[in-house]
Structure 1
Amino acid sequence: MAAKWLEFITGSLEQKKQYRDAKKRIEALPEPYRTVANAQHRYTMYYGGITDGDTLVRIFLDLADLWERAAVDGTPIADIVGDDPVEYAESYAEAYGGTQWVDKERARLIEAVDDAKKKEHRS
């Protein structure tokens, strides 16, 4: 009972566990993969603005998979990231879709403009 109440307030405990596991896997990577994976993780948290827990967990589990595989295979970082690390990180995050915090603000903006137009036409 308490777990369900706690999850209602804080979100899925399973998602939190999966996120922490992904973060631990990233921290266990050898250098320089760990540095790049942490930088991509941090950028995704700021850039992505994703509010859907399932999507966010999937992104970070896949991120850990990607960089673990690259480390095992010895794949050069440039072969993954390319010439523009920002473009790479943004494309990576955008590929997952999901609800972003800005979606709510976009809807509010559209609603405010629509309401203003209606009031303007009534005047």
Structure 2
Amino acid sequence: MVAKWIEALTGSLEQKKQYRQDMARLKALPEPYRTAAKATHRYLMYSGGVTDGDTMVTMFTDLADLWERAATDGTPVRDVVGDDPVEFAETFAQAYVGDRWIDKERARLTRAIDEAERGDAR
């Protein structure tokens, strides 16, 4: 019962455990994969905008899988990310559908404009 109450306040404990495991996997990568993976992770945290825990955990698990596979195969980092690392990261993030923080702001903007048009501005 206490665990459910804590999860209601903080989010899924299982998701947090999986996230920590994925971060440990990234930290365990050999160079230069570790640096590239951590930089991609950081960018996704700032730009991905995913607010759904399940989607975020899946995305970061897949990211760890991707970099582990590249390290195992000896695939050069640039062969993974291409010429534009930002484009790579944004394309990677687009594959994960879920609630994003910007969705709430888009809905808020649309409501405000609708209210303004009707004359119910607050």
| TM-score between the two structures when normalised by the length of structure 2 | 0.96
Deviations 1:47-78 (A, max 9, x none): 01110000000000000000000000000111
SS class of match (1:109): helix
Q: 2:80 — aligned with what?
A: 80
Q: Which residue of 2 aligns with 1:90?
A: 90
Shift of 1:4: 0.5
Cα distance in 1 for partners of 2:23, 2:7 equals 21
Partner of 1:14: 14
* Amino acid in structure 1 at the alignment position of 2:98: G
How do residues 107-122 of structure 1 correspond to structure 2 at under 5 angstroms?
A: 107-119=107-119
Shift of 1:94: 1.1
Q: Structure 2 matches for 1:9-88, cutoff 5 A? A: 9-88=9-88
Map 1:95-110 to 2 at 5 A.
95-110=95-110
Aligned residues: 120
Q: Distance in 2 between matches of 1:29 and 1:103?
A: 34
Aligned residue type for 1:69: R
Q: 2:119 aligns to what SS in structure 1?
A: helix
AA at the equivalent of 1:5: W
Could you report, residue by residue, the CA deviation over 1:76-102 in whole angstroms, capped at 9, with x for unpaired residues?
Answer: 111110000000001101111211111
Amino acid at match of 1:115: E
Q: Using the TM superposition, give the Cα deviation of residue 119 of structure 1 relative to its aligned residue in structure 2, in angstroms.
A: 1.3
TM-score, normalised by the number of residues in structure 1: 0.95
**Stretches of structure 1 lacking an aligned partner (at least 5 in a row):** none
- Runs of 4+ off more than 2 Å: none
